[in-house]
Amino acid sequence: MRYTEFTPYDLVLLAQGLGVSLGLFVGTTLAGLALGALLAGLRFYRLPGLNPVLTAVTELLKNSPVLVQLFLVFFGVPAFLKINVTPVTAASITLTGNTAAFVYVIATAAIDAVGRDQLEAARVFGLTRWQVLKHIVTPQATAFAIGPLTGLLVNQLQVTSLISVIGVMDLTKVGNILNLRTLKPFVVWSVVGLFYYAAAKTVAWLGARYETRLRAHSAWRGI
């Protein structure tokens, strides 16, 4: 193998890897948010037998390593069902399910934080459960949940680095290849870390800005 110096073009390769990481992060985040919020909303309707199943599934996903889940989706399930799953598909399924589990817990806690007196008053005025959920529960629950959700998304962005172990050409995978080619681990992994740091700070900034806007709309302005 011929070893070479770390060059400016390697920054382009790392940026391409970051694009893959961010693409999967955005896609799985949107899907996980939608799925987790939907399941939390269904819990509000108290459908018979649904809550124990949701609790069991989310507890399993929350309390098991993401890497084990990734191996199970990429190696275990395809071997058991005799099917082929691409690395990107396995990564998407795993990250979406893991994100949805945490979103479900956060959304459930946020919904429970809404005052019971407001729900009772809404029902007295004849609002349906859907109207209560849409106009009373959702706005307030979103304000309660945005802080924990921002922390979750920053963590999930970092978790995407695990998908490199199954061959997805994300930022970490590209960094590993460049490290083997240049034999300059301090330079390569410092740059990789800075890319992740910049992406995570952007997510945190966007979350804080959205939370500020929500707080501004809900602030008491007098009569």
Specify if 139 maps to a domain.
Answer: yes
pLDDT per residue as tens, the chain (223 positions) = 566 788 889 999 999 999 999 999 999 999 999 999 888 878 767 777 788 888 899 999 999 999 999 999 999 999 999 999 999 999 999 999 999 999 999 988 887 777 677 777 777 777 777 777 777 777 777 778 888 999 999 999 999 999 999 999 999 999 999 999 998 999 999 999 999 999 999 999 999 888 888 766 555 444 4
Specify if 3 maps to a domain.
Answer: no
Domain that holds residue 129: 8-218
Specify if 115 maps to a domain.
Answer: yes
Question: Which residue is associated with the tokens 């978790």?
Answer: 159
Q: What angle do CA 18, 66, 61 make, to 5 degrees?
A: 130
Please state, in angstroms and as integers, the Cα–Cα distance from residue 8 to each residue in 61, 173, 184, following that order.
40, 18, 14
Helix (H) or strand (E) holding 129: helix 129-132
Specify if 2 maps to a domain.
Answer: no
Tokens representing residue 33 in the block: 């948010």
Q: What angle do CA 85, 87, 92 make, to 5 degrees?
A: 90
**What's the domain count of the chain?**
1
Specify if 187 maps to a domain.
Answer: yes
pLDDT of residue 223: 44
Torsion of CA 164, 59, 104, 33, to 10 degrees: 10
pLDDT of residue 216: 65
pTM of this prediction? 0.85
Find the CATH number of the domain harbouring 39.
Answer: 1.10.3720.10
Question: Which residue is associated with the tokens 């809900």?
Answer: 218
